[in-house]
Amino acid sequence: MKILFPFVGDSVGGSHRSILELYYMLESNSITPIFVIHRMGPLSELFDAINIQYEYIPVKYLAGESPSLLKIIFGIIFNYLKLIKFINKNKIDIVHGNDLRINLTWSLPTKLSRSAYLWHQRSFMSSSIFWKSSVLLADHFVSISKYVDQSLPNNIPRLKKTLILNPFDVKNIYDKNESRRWLNKLYSISKKTILLGYIGRLLDWKNIDFLLRGFAKYAKNSVLQVNLIIVGTGDNEYIDILKQLACQLGVEDIVIFAGFNAKPNKVISAFDVIIAPSNREPFGRTLVEAMIQFTPVLAARGGGHSEIINDGITGRLYSHNNIGNFMSQLDKYMNSRSAHKITNKANTIASLKYSSQQHFENIVQIYKQLVCSHSQK
C-alpha cells in the first residue's frame, strides 16, 4: 500500500509532527509513505536534518491561498495534469491531505486518477456554502477534535467521517532537571527564575499579545522572579508588534523571543508552566506534549483546549482575555502544591488517550477500507 503525503513546505507545525509520528509507524508495518513538498523551506530543512526522503514538485498556484473562488479554481486547473501524472506514475493508493491548500489542490486530481483521497481536517472549517462541495472531493474525512468535527459540512455522511485524536510519543519523557539546565545555558536564564513558556506558531489568532499583557501585569505584582520565553516562528510583522509591545509594557528584559527550536519537547520539559492563550485552537498539541512531560498547563478556555484539559484535574483553564482570571489561575500553580498532583494525573491521561499506536491503528483501518472500496469500483 502506497500513501502519499503532500505538503506545501513553507512551515513546520503540529500537523507535520503528527504525520511524522505516523510515518515511523507506517514504515515499520510494510506501508510505503511518500512525501511531496511544493516549496523548499522549513519543512524540507527538517526532512533533510532527520534524513527523510521527499519529492520536490514546484507548484506556482496553490488552491486556497487566496479566498477568491476564481483563484481556487484556477489553482486546481493549473496543477492537476502534473499531479495526476505523479499519482499514476507512483501507483499511489491513497493521497492523505493535511492542509487546506493541499486538500483543495490535490483532491480533484486524486479523484481523476481513481485513487482514494483522505481529507484530514486539522482546523475549524468555514461555514461558507463553498465548503459543502468538499463532500464531492474526498472519500473520507478525519477530524482531530470534536470542535473541528462540528465544523464539517452537515451533508457529509456519518460513515464518511471519523474523529481521530493526534498521535504522540508518550514514552519520550525528558529529565526535567537536565532540560532546565540545558535551557538555562542556551538562553542565559538564572536557575532561580520561574520560567513561563509559550511554544507554537507566532500568528495573530494565537493571541500572544494577550499573553504578554497578562505576563507583564503578573510579573509586576509578583514577588517571584519570572521570565517568559516565546518559542516559535511565524508572521514577521506580528512578531515585530509583539517585540514592540514587550518594550511598551516594560518587560523586554524578562521576555525571550527564542525563535525556532529543534527540540520542542525538551523545551516544554524545562518550563515551570506552559501557557496557551488562544481560545480557537482546533486541538492544542502543545498541551498534550506538556502533559506527557509533567509540565503544568495554563490554557485559555475554548476550542480544542476544553476537550484536552479537565480544569483543576489535568491542568488549569482561564476565561479568554480575562487578565484577572489568568493571574489567579497562574497563582494557584505558584502558591500551592497542587501542580505535582495535576501533572501526574495529566501524564496518566495523556499516555492512555494519545499514544502513537492507537492513532496508527485507527488511521490504517481507514486506509484499508478506502483501498478495499476502490478495488471494487
Domains belonging to the chain, first-starting first, are 2-167+355-375 (3.40.50.2000), 176-353 (3.40.50.2000)
- The whole-number pLDDT of residue 202 equals 95
**Over the range 5-32, which residues count as b (16 or more CB within 10 Å of their CB) and which as e?**
bbbbbebbbbbbbbbbbbbebbeeeebe
Say how many CA atoms lie within 13 Å of 205 toward its Cβ: 7
Radius of gyration of the chain (CA): 21
Q: Say how many CA atoms lie within 13 Å of 1 toward its Cβ.
A: 22
Q: Give, for all 377 residues of the chain, the pLDDT tens digit.
A: 999 999 999 888 888 989 999 998 898 788 999 999 999 999 999 999 999 999 999 987 676 666 566 766 766 677 788 899 999 999 999 999 998 888 888 988 999 999 999 999 998 887 666 666 667 789 999 999 999 998 888 888 889 999 999 999 899 999 999 999 999 999 999 999 999 999 999 999 999 999 999 999 999 999 999 999 999 998 999 999 999 999 999 999 999 999 988 899 999 999 999 999 999 999 999 999 999 999 999 999 999 999 999 999 999 999 999 999 999 999 999 877 889 999 999 999 999 999 999 999 999 999 999 999 887 76
Q: How many CA atoms lie within 13 A of 171 on its CB side?
A: 3
Q: Which residue has the cell 482514494?
A: 116
Q: How far apart are CA 289 and CA 122, in angstroms?
A: 17
Note the pLDDT of residue 17: 87
Question: Residue 376 contacts by C-beta under 8 Å, 6 or more apart in sequence?
Answer: none
Rounded-to-integer distance, Cα 82 and Cα 74, Å: 14
Distance of CA 56 to CAs 27, 44, 47, Å?
20, 9, 12
pLDDT at 131: 63
